[in-house]
Amino acid sequence: MSLPTTLVLIETDPRTSARPAEAIRIAAGIGAWRKTDVTLLLRGPAAYSLQEYADELVDEDNFTRYLPLVAEAPRPIYVEDSFTDLKALEGSAFRYEVISPARTAELIGTHDYLIRL
């Protein structure tokens, strides 16, 4: 039997808000249960979560501690192409894939649960 799937969709700028850091912590925590398969999707300025230096982000400890756990998933972290500053992600240690808004809608529709922060 396959696990239910959970999509964690983050839309807030991690340079000005602690919400993305908390969402990353939540994603890592529920993934650790091994009772759901977690996918992370970053939309708009939330993609700054993947930048090389976490010390420029609010609540940087959650990024350095929990983002590597989320990134262990067999799929990449998804970044919607509404984020246009891809140069800021050069040097990122995390595997990510840029997707279209149509693919975002598909991900939302195919997951059992959605956590949106």
User: Could you give all domains of the chain from N- to C-terminal order, each with its CATH number?
Assistant: 5-116 (3.40.1260.10)
| pLDDT number for residue 1 | 66
pLDDT class of 2 with cuts at 50, 70, 90: confident
Q: What pLDDT was estimated at residue 34?
A: 85
Which residue carries 């595997």 as its tokens?
Answer: 95
Query: What pLDDT is attached to residue 46?
Result: 97
What number is the average pLDDT over the span 62-80? Answer: 94
What is the pLDDT, as a whole number, of residue 80? 98
Mean pLDDT of 96-110: 97
Phi and psi for 83 in degrees, rounded to 5?
Answer: -85, 115
Find how far residue 117's CA is from the centre of its chain.
Answer: 10
Stated pTM of the model: 0.94
DSSP SS3 for 94: coil
pLDDT, tens digit, 9 for 90 and up, residues 84-96: 999 999 999 999 9
pLDDT tops 90 at residue 33 = no
SS3 of 22, please? Answer: helix
